[in-house]
Amino acid sequence: MFPLLLMGTAAQAPAMSPIDAERAFAIDARTMGQWTAFRRWSTDGAVMFTPQPTSVHQFIKDRADPPEAIDRWPTASYVSCDGSVAVNTGGWRGPDGSVGYFSTVWQRQKDGGWKWVVDSGGTLQAPRPRPIKPLVKRASCPDRRRPQGGIVVTGTAAPSSNIRSGIGGSNDNTLTWLWLVRADGSRKFMAGYQNGRIFADAIDDEIAAPAK
């Protein structure tokens, strides 16, 4: 009876959500070390920006964890209808008191867990709020009678040899994301989702080039 009881309890346990994964990532960064958490929670091909797109695992390969990690917290999560991809956004505070925001693309793994594939963000003058219950938006499921659409990039030059870019989305195409990095290090990160009527904007970050 006891093993069966355990199996029943496990079956009823709620699955980890993208918000749960974001918070677990932040906790691991504070308790295990910042770069240790980055290794644990990112896919092998994950990308961050320094400011040009960089392989996370190559960038942190020989880096020791800093004495104190950046504190980060989610404010909103946009999840595809099929639950295969999510884009979280939130705030962060550095050990030196600096503040900013992040936008992170998460993919559900074969074991049901989550790992992130893109981590973007920038600095702010004032910190973002830290809500107890972040906003969660689930994309509407595909309507086969209508085209699904996708992200439309406005106010940005077409990709060229001076612009590096990446794009991706959920298996059902109800959530998509795009990043562009220009030669000067300025960049754009966008995400959109199907809201039942149109393909709506979820995130539209414009990050300035780093100061020289």
DSSP for 32-57 reads T-HHHHHHHHEEEEEEEESSSEEEHH
Beta bridge partners of 114: 108
Is 9 among the domain residues? no
Which residues span the domain enclosing 52?
15-207
Is 79 among the domain residues? yes
Is 82 among the domain residues? yes
Q: Which two tokens stand for residue 67?
A: 């004495």
For residue 210, say if its preceding peptide bond is cis, omega within 30 degrees of 0: no
Give residue 124's pLDDT: 96
Q: Specify the pTM.
A: 0.86
Is 10 among the domain residues? no
Show the DSSP H helices in the chain as ranges: 2-12, 18-31, 34-41, 56-59
Query: For the segment 7-60, what is each residue's pLDDT rounded down to a tens digit?
Result: 333 334 457 999 999 999 999 999 999 999 999 999 999 999 999 999 999 999
Query: For the segment 72-100, what is each residue's pLDDT rounded down to a tens digit?
Result: 999 999 999 999 999 999 999 999 999 99
Give residue 26's pLDDT: 97
What own/partner pairs with CB < 8 Å and gap ≥ 24 does 12-19 have? Answer: 15/112, 16/112, 16/113, 16/114, 17/77, 17/79, 17/136, 18/77, 18/79, 18/86, 18/88, 18/106, 18/114, 19/74, 19/77, 19/88, 19/134, 19/136
| Count of structural domains within the chain | 1
Q: What is the CATH number of the domain that holds 48?
A: 3.10.450.50
Is 84 among the domain residues? yes
Is 131 among the domain residues? yes
- How large is the average pLDDT for residues 147-176? 70
Is 5 among the domain residues? no
Is 102 among the domain residues? yes
